[in-house]
């Protein structure tokens, strides 16, 4: 006789319980009515079965990130009992999750437990369900979402836990209040999104310092290997924009070249201009393109096109009016797009007196690859050519502000500088004060043109410190003032 049958017979024989007294689904003393039978229910999981679990570190060795790490731990520790919440944002690969793991390890003695939740693409309903399972809470089948939320908050209110919500994306943000803990818990949120409501503090994780990058490479390759090629290691770190994930991928790839002469220098030669080389086959977590794809694929189709178009600019940045011209948009609309990109950690503000922006580190190479794959570089290049031609026509032909001789000799203006990848591009200024722009039929997908530092769509004067350039390493010149071309309304499109 089965266990369930024994329990059923025992209850009926003793008169303790009759199925006729209850409806299907009722539970009494650990048994449940199922039709005309009573079955033994499995014991509920012990609360906190997964409390305290912190995912293992992905990096070979953890490199202390300096002040921001201290700020995160200090704020969470001081916030005990007040429901302290910290948002930690950065684009992919900068080490948000690894920092959160380290902070959790450092602070676990200050809390009754650690509740780690991988959020990602989950909806608020899925996050709540996941947290209930991790807390060991079992609800009856068919429990409403309102019941699930109430049960979760009731469970969290009785605990002093550190809740880590890792990789929070737009879907989950729409219902963030549904699963944020209240006192005495504290919470740490990692996200690529900057503006998150209900945060007491927002901290931005930047790239590594040169010293931190060297420490990471030494951990993977060994101090002797890095010391033997110190200059090449420094160049490789610069090429990786001091991005921790990119650096570790690069170091692992270098390690595969051990045995050949100067392996660091050899990999540096391989990876230059080849963004897809920043990957380890077989694992999307070690592939910079896959990591960036997460943010890119979250964009709408129109914003994806606008993001790709930004690859046309020099990595040092662009003015919002230049982006508006390239996107065929009004300046106001272009600023709204830029604001969205900033919030998603795709674009960042360039420090200085003028309003300028640039793509986040390494995203310029990623955007260039996407631009090439979508076969748009010719159209974007032509649009950029129109901008440059109109810029000089406005200042040199329509309303001359600079003398002909100034174009070739003045330190205020200088000349356009092109690297070997854009040898097909040329801009000629005739002695008759007319501009002729001749552009070659092919251009590298990584070609970029820098536009004035600050411009005005209404033709107002604007300062332009850096010369327009297409190379990350090109020298720059200075210009006092320029008038910005009016954008033709006929060519605009929303």
* CATH code assigned at 387: 1.10.10.10
Q: Identify the band that residue 159 occupies on the pLDDT scale cut at 50, 70 and 90.
A: confident
- The upper half-sphere exposure of residue 472, i.e. CA atoms within 13 Å in the direction of its Cβ, equals 14
3-state helix, strand, coil in the chain (%, to 5): 45, 15, 45
Same domain, 126 and 16: no
| Cα(7)–Cα(9) distance, integer angstroms | 6
Q: Among 28-32, 94-98, 268-272, 315-319, which is the least confidently predicted range? A: 28-32
Q: Identify the band that residue 85 occupies on the pLDDT scale cut at 50, 70 and 90.
A: low
Tell me: pLDDT of 145 over 70.
yes
DSSP 452: -
> Tokens 């910290």 map to which residue?
86
| Cα(46)–Cα(55) distance, integer angstroms | 20
Write out the residue range of the structural domain in which residue 13 sits: 3-40
How many domains, in total, are found in the chain? 4
Same domain, 200 and 215: no
Q: Among 27-36, 328-337, 373-382, which is the least confidently predicted range? A: 27-36
Higher confidence at residue 6 or residue 464?
6
Asked if the structure places residue 183 within a domain, the reply is: yes
- Model pLDDT for residues 123-138, shown as the tens digit of each residue: 999 999 999 999 989 8
| Cα(123)–Cα(17) distance, integer angstroms | 42
Tell me: pLDDT of 22 over 60.
no
pLDDT for the residue 99: 92
Same domain, 199 and 216: no
Average pLDDT, the chain: 74
Average pLDDT for 182-205: 87
Average pLDDT for 245-262: 94
DSSP characters over 193-251: -S--TT-SEEEE--PPPHHHHHHHHHHHH-HHHHHHTHHHHHHHHHHTTT-HHHHHHHH
- Residue 369 structure tokens: 């690859």
pLDDT for the residue 198: 81
Omega before 184 within 30 of 0, i.e. cis:
yes
Asked if the structure places residue 51 within a domain, the reply is: no
pLDDT for the residue 147: 95
Same domain, 179 and 241: no
pLDDT for the residue 352: 87
Same domain, 222 and 197: no
Higher confidence at residue 43 or residue 134?
134
- Residue 83 structure tokens: 């429901």
* End residue of a domain, out of 204, 239, 259: 204
Asked if the structure places residue 11 within a domain, the reply is: yes
Same domain, 356 and 425: yes
Q: Identify the band that residue 197 occupies on the pLDDT scale cut at 50, 70 and 90.
A: confident
* End residue of a domain, out of 176, 204, 232: 204
Tell me: pLDDT of 152 over 80.
yes
Asked if the structure places residue 295 within a domain, the reply is: no
Same domain, 472 and 446: yes
* End residue of a domain, out of 163, 179, 204: 204
pLDDT for the residue 272: 87
Asked if the structure places residue 197 within a domain, the reply is: yes
Same domain, 109 and 245: no
Same domain, 441 and 338: yes
Asked if the structure places residue 61 within a domain, the reply is: no
Average pLDDT for 285-309: 93
Same domain, 200 and 217: no
Asked if the structure places residue 424 within a domain, the reply is: yes
- Model pLDDT for residues 161-192, shown as the tens digit of each residue: 999 999 999 999 989 999 999 888 999 999 99
Report field, pTM of the whole predicted structure over 0.85: no
Task: Give the whole-number percent of the chain exceeding pLDDT 70.
Answer: 67
Higher confidence at residue 27 or residue 378?
378
| Cα(294)–Cα(316) distance, integer angstroms | 24
Same domain, 8 and 81: no
Q: Which residues pair with 187 in a beta bridge?
A: 85, 163
pLDDT for the residue 61: 79
pLDDT for the residue 201: 86
| Cα(494)–Cα(492) distance, integer angstroms | 7
> What length is written for the chain?
494
* CATH code assigned at 176: 3.40.50.300
Higher confidence at residue 172 or residue 487?
172
pLDDT for the residue 297: 92
Asked if the structure places residue 226 within a domain, the reply is: yes
Same domain, 34 and 128: no
- Per DSSP (E only), the strands in 440-492 are 461-462, 482-483
Average pLDDT for 240-262: 94
User: Are 319 and 455 spatial neighbours (Cβ–Cβ below 8 Å)?
Assistant: yes
pLDDT for the residue 417: 27
Tell me: pLDDT of 393 over 50.
yes
Q: Among 236-245, 263-272, 370-379, which is the least confidently predicted range? A: 370-379
DSSP 136: T
- Model pLDDT for residues 423-451, shown as the tens digit of each residue: 233 333 333 333 333 333 333 333 444 43
């Amino acid at each position: 006789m089965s266990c369930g049958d024994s329990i059923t017979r025992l209850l009926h024989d003793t008169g303790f319980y009759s199925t006729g007294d209850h409806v299907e689904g009722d539970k009494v003393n650990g048994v449940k009515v199922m039709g005309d039978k009573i079955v033994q229910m499995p014991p509920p999981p012990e609360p906190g079965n997964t409390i305290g679990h912190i995912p293992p570190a992905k990096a070979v060795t953890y490199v202390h990130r300096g002040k921001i790490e201290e700020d995160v731990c200090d704020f969470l520790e001081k916030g005990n009992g007040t429901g302290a919440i910290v948002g930690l944002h950065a684009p992919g690969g900068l080490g948000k999750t690894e920092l959160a793991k380290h902070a959790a390890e450092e602070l676990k003695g200050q809390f009754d437990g650690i509740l780690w939740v991988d959020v990602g693409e989950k909806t608020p309903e899925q996050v709540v369900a996941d947290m209930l399972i991790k807390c060991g809470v079992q609800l009856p089948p068919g429990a409403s979402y309102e019941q699930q939320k109430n049960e979760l908050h009731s469970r969290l209110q009785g605990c002093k836990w550190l809740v880590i919500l890792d990789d929070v994306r737009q879907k989950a943000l729409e219902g963030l209040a549904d699963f944020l803990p209240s006192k005495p818990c504290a919470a740490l949120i990692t996200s690529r999104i900057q503006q998150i409501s209900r945060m007491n503090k927002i901290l931005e994780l930047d790239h590594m310092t040169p010293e931190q990058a060297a420490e990471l490479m030494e951990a993977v390759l060994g101090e002797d290997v890095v010391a033997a090629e110190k200059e090449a290691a420094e160049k490789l770190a610069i090429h990786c924009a001091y991005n921790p994930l990119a650096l570790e991928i690069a170091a692992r790839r270098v390690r595969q070249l051990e045995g050949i002469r100067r392996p660091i220098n050899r990999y540096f030669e391989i990876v230059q201009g080849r963004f897809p080389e920043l990957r380890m086959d077989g694992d999307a977590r070690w592939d910079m393109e896959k990591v960036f794809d997460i943010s890119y694929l979250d964009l709408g189709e129109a914003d994806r096109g606008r993001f790709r178009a930004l690859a046309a600019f020099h990595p040092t940045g662009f003015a919002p009016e230049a982006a508006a011209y390239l996107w065929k948009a009004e300046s106001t609309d272009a600023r709204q797009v830029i604001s969205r990109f900033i919030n998603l950690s795709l674009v960042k503000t360039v420090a200085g007196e003028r309003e300028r922006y640039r793509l986040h580190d390494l995203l310029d190479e990623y955007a260039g690859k996407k631009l090439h794959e979508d076969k748009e570089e010719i159209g974007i290049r032509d649009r950029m050519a129109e901008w440059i031609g109109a810029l000089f026509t406005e200042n040199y032909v329509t309303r001359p502000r600079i003398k002909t001789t100034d174009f070739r000799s003045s330190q205020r203006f200088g000349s356009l500088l092109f690297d070997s990848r854009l040898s097909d591009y040329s801009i000629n200024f005739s002695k008759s004060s007319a501009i002729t722009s001749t552009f070659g039929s092919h251009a590298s997908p990584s070609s970029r043109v820098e536009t004035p530092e600050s411009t005005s769509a209404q033709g107002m004067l604007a300062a332009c410190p850096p010369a327009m350039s297409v190379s990350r390493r090109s020298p720059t010149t200075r210009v006092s003032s320029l008038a910005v071309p009016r954008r033709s309304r006929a060519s605009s499109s929303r």
